[in-house]
Amino acid sequence: MTMVTSPQDLSDKPLYNTQLINNNIEYIKQFHPDLNIDDFLRYSEITTYQLEDPAHWLTQNQVDRFHEMLLQKTGDLSISRKIGRFAATSKASGLLRKVALGFMTPTSAYWAVQKLTSKMTRGFSFKLRKIGTVGTHIMEV
């Protein structure tokens, strides 16, 4: 039996890899150099040593607070989309870029997505199970 968890239950659960915030910070440094990153981190209760640890996970509250300040300081309602597009070329997205270069077949692409989602967020589960020859797959989301 699957238990449904309310959003309030997840607010203090580590769900997001620091890689996501590192992409945001790299974008801010490049396109909004006047903004003070330390202010963002302090408000979000994120430490620099947490960001330097690729195995560290941030809570929904931390990520929400970071994004709240990002919207407030930039006034750009489409900032998340811009950062998402920037992530493909970002230094902080080294793993993403390496995996994207390995997309040779649909099977490898699905496998990479499965691996990436587990490294970026714990709030989403993506599993791939091959059930036949190439081109015949079933995905469980």
Q: pLDDT tens across 125-136, in order? A: 777 777 766 555
The reply to whether 56 and 21 lie within a common domain is: yes
Q: How many domains does the chain have?
A: 2
- Kindly indicate the confidence band of residue 9, based on its pLDDT and cuts at 50, 70 and 90: low
The residue range of the domain holding 133 is 102-141
Q: Is the pLDDT of residue 8 over 80?
A: no
SS3 140: strand
- Count of alpha carbons within 13 angstroms of residue 38, beta-carbon side: 0
* 63 part of a folded domain: yes
Look at residue 1 in the predicted model and tell me its pLDDT: 43
- Kindly indicate the confidence band of residue 65, based on its pLDDT and cuts at 50, 70 and 90: very high
Kind of pairing, strands 137-140 and 127-130?
antiparallel
* 38 part of a folded domain: yes
